[in-house]
Structure 1
Amino acid sequence: MLIAMAGLPGSGKSTVSVELAQALGCALLSVDPVEAAMWHAGVGREQPTGLAAYVVVEFLAREQLLIGNDVIVDAVNDVDLAREHWRSLASRLELPLAFVEVFCSNEKEHQRRLAGRQRDIKGFPEPTWQSVVERRSGFDDWDGDRVRVDSMRPLADIVATVLEYLASRRRPDTTIQPSGDPNLA
């Protein structure tokens, strides 16, 4: 199963992702460290490294899915184009896809979390509150199937809710059948 996380920076999505990956014993792939690695490798920040990071994570996710691992993708996924990466991948591999949107219902708490956030991603700048507010609109128009969880709830409750949702999305006969599609080779 492919599990695509979604949520604004500072909403708690990465925290939930880690807990889910541990509960499921599955691969967790995050877009931000991939983008930071590109910069460290000398790819200029003026290049479309954000999009490239999604593509790299998509390819890595594909490899994990093909060997039978569930995969959680940790990314903002605030626009339909980003979410289409995951829909397309799951469709090509004929695997179930679950979107998990994490949001923080308390704006002051969300701002506090963002201001105090210190991730161990060398050279990756944390977004400003204004940039987070500007990204909200990408979620306003999302009408696709997903579970939405409020990070103001206890983490154990959030994980239980998501695990229940994932169980409802999982096909009991899920097996990976590599297709003859040359684009997947």
Structure 2
Amino acid sequence: MATLYIFSGLPGTGKSTLAALLSKHLGASYLRVDTIEQSLKDICGLKVYAEGYKIAYRLASDNLIQGLNVVGDSCNSVPESRVEWEQTAINSGAKYVNIEISCSNEIEHKIRVESRDSPVKSLALPSWKSVKAREYHPWGSEVISIDTAGESPERSIQNLIERLGI
């Protein structure tokens, strides 16, 4: 049975790095909402609100129905998007796993936010001030939490793989 790995976390926590590494480890489809949203802006000139997420859900469903594992990479900061990701898996006859990435060391997190480059062409990365002000709700359901503070991406992905039992 296919599985949807649903990532969440604030910008700069290492979420996209770990999502991409997990996708590579599993040979899974990788859907990054930032890429979808920036494509809609660049190609269609759209102002984007939830359209990127909605497209990601549909693409995830297409892949899950084909029996392919999918890694969904987004901030996923509110209960509504989390429920939609889960419902996408359920409606596609797949399992899902919620994964939350955090960086508990505020100094390290700030340095990451302020020093990173975007792998998504034209994507304007958020400032530390906007990351701190971002709406982000605690999880109300089962989630695998990975704290990347003081850890290399290699150690963090190994920790996640162990926690997932894969």
| Superposition deviation, residue 56 in structure 1 | 0.5
Q: Select the residue among 1, 13, 16 that pairs with 2:15.
A: 13
Point out where structure 1 has 5 or more consecutive residues left out of the alignment.
169-185
The superposition leaves residues 130-174 of structure 1 with CA deviations (integer Å, 9 ceiling, x where unpaired) of 211122x523x3221111101122333322332233348xxxxxx
CA RMSD of aligned residues (A): 1.6
Question: Which ranges in structure 2 are unaligned for 5 or more consecutive residues?
Answer: none
CA contact (8 A) 2:31 2:60 kept: yes
For 1:74 and 1:89, locate their aligned partners in 2 and report how far apart those are by CA, in whole Å.
Answer: 14
Query: Do 2:31 and 2:70's aligned partners in 1 also have CA atoms closer than 8 Å?
Result: yes
What is the deviation of 1:84?
A: 1.3
What is the number of residues matched between the two proteins? Answer: 163
Correspondence for 2:34 among 23, 32, 36: 32
| TM-score with structure 1 setting the length | 0.82
| Structure having the higher Rg | 1
**Are 1:100 and 2:102 matched, yes or no?**
no
CA contact (8 A) 2:14 2:153 kept: no
User: Who is 2:148 aligned against?
Assistant: 151
Residue 163 (1) aligns with residue 161 (2): yes
Distance 1:154 1:122 in 2: 25
Call closer, same or farther: CA 1:35–1:68 in 2, change over 3 Å: same
Shift of 1:124: 1.6
Pairing 1:42-53 to 2, within 5 Å after superposition:
42-45=44-47, 49-53=48-52
Match of 2:82 in 1: 83
| Structure 1 CA distance for aligned equivalents of residues 120 and 25 of structure 2 | 24
